[in-house]
Every structure is written in C-alpha cells, then in structure tokens.
Amino acid sequence: MALNVKPLRRILELEHKKGYPDSAVIGGLDRFLHQWVSQAIESITNPKLLSHFHKLNLVNSNYASLTTEQRRQWAEDMLGFLGELEHQGGESTTAKLMSPASPSVPVPRKSKATPSQSVNLPITAIKGISPNLANKFSKLGVKTIRDLLYFFPHRHLDYSQRKYISQLAEGEEETIIANVWQAQEVRLGGRRSTEAIVGDETGNVRVVWFNNPYLAKKLTTNTRVVVSGRVGLFNGRHVFQSPEWELVGDEDLIHTGRLVPLYPLTQGLRPRQVRKLMKGVIDQWAWQVTDFLPPEVKKRQSLLELSQAICQAHYPDDEALKTQARIRLAFDELFLLQLGVLSRKHDWQYSQPGNPFSVQGMLMDTFLESLPFELTPAQQKVLGELLADLQKSQPMSRLLQGEVGSGKTVVATALLLMAVANGYQGAFMAPTEILAEQHFTTICQLLSRLGHKDSGEDCLHSYSGFLSHPVTVALLIGDINLKSKQKLKQHILDGDIGVIIGTHALIQKGVEFHKLGLVVIDEQHRFGVTQRSALRQKGFNPHVLVMTATPIPRTLALTLYGDLDLSVIDQLPPGRQVVKTKWLKPGQRNSGYAFLHRQVAQGHQAFIICPLVEESEVIQARAAVAEYERLSREVFPNLRLGLLHGRMTAADKDKVMRRFRSGELDILVSTPVVEVGIDVPNATVMMVESADRFGLSQLHQFRGRVGRGPEQSYCMLLAQNPSEVG
C-alpha cells in the first residue's frame, strides 16, 4: 500500500513557516509521528529506504526536546527522506528548507505581476472565485485582492486549548482530538443528519451534525479528527452539536484547534467556505502587500511587518500575536489619516494666501468692557491665540475645545466682530435650528450692550455706534418663509450683512457671500468634512474656527484633527459648578424619581431623555411618548410635564420650549432632539433612560443641558439591561 507523505510534508513546511515552535500539529509533532511510523513501516519495501528510515529513529522521536537549530536540521533531513519515499525506484529528490522564518510569514510564491499590481487585481483572478461568488463579496465591499487581505474577521473563537474528553464542561467552547469509532446517517427531528461516537484515551463522546448527512461517509472508522465547539448535555451525557471539525494531519488547521476567525457574511456565503478561501488568499498573497512604513519607524514602535500583521489578524498563532497585529494595523490607519490631514492643512494654508486681519485693540477693549462679566484667564489666553492667527497671511485653522458653559460663544463673537471691522463677513454654522436661534439671540444681546439696536425684522438685527458703519446680524434657517429667505440671500450677496448665523442652509447652492473672511462652526462633530469644506469654499481662503464641547484627549485631537491647531478653555466661569453624574441600577429608579421630585419642590426644573419617540418591538428601550403618559399618570401626577420629539411640527416644538424656558413646565420628557441648543439655567436635573444606547459624546452633550446656572446640578444615567460594551 502506497504511503501518503503529504500530511507530514505539510506539517514540516508549516513548522518552518512558524519558526519551529512544535505547534504545527495539535499535541506536538512527536505524537503525530508515533501514529505515522506504524503506517510507514508497513509501506516501505525498498531495503535502502528502510535502512534510511531506521537511521532517523522515528520510533523514538524526540523533536520536542531539540533546540530550534536542531529542529531545523532534523526537518531538512526528514524532508529529504520524504522526497526519496515519493520517488521509490526513481530519481531521488531532496526538499531543502531555507533558514528559519519569522512566525507565520507566508512563503512567497511566483506571480507574473509585480506585488503592487497583483493585489489590485479583481478577486476573480484567484482560483476558485467565480463571478457569482465575486458578486457576493462585492456586497461586503470586497472587490480586489487587497480588499480581501483587509477583510478582517470581526472576532475569533478560541479553539486553541485542547482538552481530553474526561475534562469537557457543559456550556464551554472546547477542542478535542479523537478517533472516530462509528459514524452513521440518522434522522433527528425529521432531518437527515450525521451522528458519530468519537473517543480518546479518557473516554467517548457523542457528536451530532444536523442537516449534514454526507459527513457519515467522510468520517470512517479510525479516522482521527479535531472537534471544536460548544459542549451540551443530552440525557445526562456530554454532546457536541454541529461543531467545527477537521481531519488530523490533513492540512494546516483552519476551522478547529486554533483561534478561529469569524468573518462578516452575506446571503450565499458560508463560514467554512469563507475561512478556507481566506486561508488560501492569506498564504498566497499577503507577502505581496508593500510595507510602506520606514524600517526605523517599525523598529522604534516595535511593530510587526505588514505581511505578518495581516496573517496574524486573520489566523493568529496566539493572543499575543493577534494583539500585535491589531496594534500594527491600527497604527497604519492613524498614521495614514494623520498624513492626509496634515497634507490637507498644508495645501489649504500654503497653496494660496489668506486674508490677514488688522486687530483693532480699541474696539476689542470696548467690547470686552461692555460684557457683564470678566473673561476667565483661560478665555483670555485662547482669545489671544485666535487673534494672533487672524493677523497671519496663512488662514487660521483651529479647533476650540471647551466644556459646556465655558464661554466659547463670547470668544467667537469677538472674532466675528473683528472680521466685520476689517471689511469682511463672518458666518456661524450650528447643527440645529434651535442652537442657531440660541446663538443668534446670544450674539445680538452681546452686541446690543456695545451699541444701540436699529429697527429690524425678527431674523435681521442691526447695531450701530461702535463702528463707522452698522453691524448687521442675520439668522438663516429653513424655518423662515421663502420671501424673507430670498431677501436675506440678496443682502448677503450684496455685503449688507456682516454676521450670518445659520444651519446647513448656509452651505446651500443659493447662498453666496460678498466677502467671507471668517467661518465659525459650532459642535463640529455633527458636521462631516465635506460640509465644513463647503462652507469654507464660500469664501476665498477664509479663517476657520471649529468648536466642540466634547472632551477629546489631546493625542487623539492631534491625530484626528491634525489639520487644526488646538486651543482649550479649561476653566468654567465663577459660580459654575461641575455637574454630578451617577449611574443608577434598575432597582434605584424610584429613588431617582424621588430625588427629581425634591429638586422640583425646591423650584428647579428637570429633563428626562428617552432614545425613541414611540415604543418598538425590535428595540428594547424607553420611548418618549409612552414614558410621558406613564410619568404624567403614575409617577408625577402633581407636576407639569411637557413632551418634545423630532416628529412634532416646528411650531409645536417652539411652543413647548417656550413654556419650559418660562417655567410653566416642571419636567420636559424628550428624545435626543435636546442634545444641543437648549439653555434653561433653572434646569438642575437630567435623567437619561437607556443610557447604554447613546455614545459618550451624546451623553456629554445631554449633561450639558443642566448646570447652566449657579445651582449644583445632577445627571442620572439609567440602563435596564446594559450590554458588556454599554
């Protein structure tokens, strides 16, 4: 009977590829050799080969005890012997290995195309990927070989720890190596399935594969298999139900006995099919991806080679290498992102000159003296940085970060005033109409203290007495009538309006500026790069200031917003107190309601935020409409409650907000529509339902709706059944 040397050859090649760690086969190479030797002795008939076989002393193999160099030499000798076995009676061949490789670096294979060309080929260039299969991958955004290499699993199942059958535990993900004693096709629940009994030296266990009758023919008696999956209990005995399985020594393990990747799928793609395909793609193509990082950077940061990182991200040898792969790939993403934003900053600031402003000190002093408060040292420092930027020939590009209530709007108003004094227009863009209206009101109040207000419409105010010409402030939002909107657009184009405050309406095609010199964007995280760029392009290289109340770590800010210089207002005005935040468990809900009731009894107001407008069968979360009715009826029947959500008309929303601001309502039940732009100094309590459904940025914005007055304020977060991530 001819001896099949292919499994052993593959194991030895894998050992070489991994650097000879004795991990290419579960249980170690010696265990595999003990089984392989018995077949080899019966199959070798050539006396010369038999003599060579006995010299190798495989019966008493001790590969595990050898040094790495000794293992390499032994593997070379063994591959030479296998070459002779494959050519019994013919010309002898010797398969020599190269020097030891780094762990899991794929062995290069010849390709007619250069590496950079190869990975950009469509995936149909890969053997086994038909146009039909390519269409399915296309739905997942995978079209080229490079896309496949970067098609990373969303997580891994840890099947790397082998257990004996006697050690199996119910409910755990386990891996065993066993012999098949019997396998047969059975009917389970009316479905054709396969049932097998497998065993090792410690016992036997039942394995069932539902809807897979064909496996009964593959799993012949004495076949040695690796089985990985969750252990269940049936009639008091352990059982594997539809686990992953592979033949021992058949090939490099893909589905079992290792960290097994779980890939995103779409209709028509099966887990085993994708895993097997990806393994072949990684082994053949990963080495062809060009590593763009300079060697000194990789050395300084202790980063893996790119090809090795790609391999380990898909099929990691262990958790440590998986982590190293994630670090390398994450470094690449942030490195390229930073290069991109820095390039954009360079192109914008140096390709064309900006519009340097002349800082008029007397006007600035007059404005600051007119304020009903003094700027904090942090505000003064930031204002100095911004005014210095305005005097440069390169356009300002700055991110202003400051806690809610730290005074960013006052600083922005000073810059807008300076733009008008230099003969330019200033645009102030906010993400919502409520916030735009609030900024319009605030800026008009500040300017009214500087000079006297001339007659004007609701959305157009003019102030004079502190410049040689009146300063006109306009509000441009979607909720003004068409006639007024057309009139405003013409005034903006003619240059009659100096400060324009609005929403996305500012970047619409019909809005043209006469001489835009300064752009201020509030809550910048609510706008995309394209939207910010669209407003910037309304002028000729205007100065740009973007503002956020969301705390961003400095290192992250310099990476994600590398095209922006960073200024931080790190002080609150005198009298402002830090909002106290507490997470309440489900059993503490009533104590939260009692606390809220006490705050209202002291004359304060409160918000209750719900993630949904109406109840959903799919999403388990509190809904504003139902919660408003329940709270009004059962919890706070003696208090005045209001309801606010995005499906209400603009008039109804405005009516509710006016009542809440004026104190006619004690509690406002709302959806995230209040995330930004609500300023009610008397509100001291914020209760957020289903808080785990919101991001940290949103929660920070919600909390910013309270603590806007001198009283101590509080934020309570409730989550019924928070997920691990939540």
How confident is the model over 287-318, as pLDDT tens digits? 888 888 999 999 999 999 999 999 999 999 88
- What pLDDT is attached to residue 536? 67
Q: Rounded distance, CA 1 to CA 111, Å?
A: 37
CA atoms within 13 A on the CB side of 362: 3
Q: Which fold has domain 580-718?
A: Rossmann fold (3.40.50)
What pLDDT is attached to residue 593? 92
| CATH T-level fold of 361-569 | Rossmann fold (3.40.50)
CA distances to 34, 108, 603 from 666, rounded to whole Å, are 81, 71, 9
Tokens of residue 175, six digits? 């891996």
Alpha-carbon distance 568 to 486, whole Å? 38
Could you tell me which residue, 47 or 367, shows the higher pLDDT? 367
Closest CA to 240 of 267, 279, 206: 206
User: HSE (CB half, 13 Å, CA atoms) of 131?
Assistant: 0
**Whether 676 contacts 435, CB under 8 Å:** yes
Per the CB < 8 A criterion, the answer to whether 191 and 210 are in contact is yes
Contact (CB, 8 A) for 553 and 365: no
Residues 341 and 333: their CA atoms lie apart, in Å, by: 12
Pairing of strands 191-200, 224-234: unpaired
Residue 44 has pLDDT above 80, yes or no: no
Tokens of 397: 């590009």
| Res. 99: pLDDT tops 50 | no
The token duo for 236 is 């008091």
**DSSP label of 612:** B
For residue 438, give both structure tokens: 């609030």
CATH number of 161-257: 2.40.50.140
For 469, list phi and psi in degrees, rounded to 5: -140, 155
Residue range 685-698: mean pLDDT, rounded: 83
Percentage of the chain surpassing pLDDT 70? Answer: 85
121 CB burial (10 A radius; 0-12, 13-18, 19+):
middle
Does the pLDDT value for residue 157 go beyond 70? yes
Could you tell me the residue ranges of all domains in the chain?
Answer: 6-86, 161-257, 361-569, 580-718
CA distance 174 to 172: 6
SS3 for 243? coil
> Tokens 């082994």 belong to which residue?
283
Cβ proximity of 322 and 313 under 8 Å: yes
* C-beta separation of 390 from 415 below 8 A: yes
Q: What residues pair up with 520 in beta bridges, in sequence order?
A: 428, 545
H/E/C letters for each residue in 285-297? HHHHCCCCCCHHH
The amino acid sitting at 307 is S
Least confident span in 93-107, 389-403, 463-477, 606-620: 93-107
Quote the Cα angle for 81-87-89, to 5°. Answer: 110
Q: Residue 322 — pLDDT band, cuts 50, 70, 90?
A: very high
How many angstroms from the chain centroid is the CA of residue 121?
28
361-569 against 580-718: fold identical: yes
Q: What span, in angstroms and rounded, lies between the C-alpha atoms of 472 and 430? A: 19
C-alpha torsion angle, residues 56, 58, 61, 64 (rounded to 10): 80
Residue 326 confidence (pLDDT) above 70: yes
Q: How confident is the model at residue 106 (pLDDT cuts 50, 70, 90)?
A: very low
> In terms of pLDDT, which residue wins out, 272 or 720?
272
Q: Which two tokens stand for residue 55?
A: 């010299």
Indicate the range of 114-128, 574-588, 648-662, 683-697 predicted with least confidence: 114-128
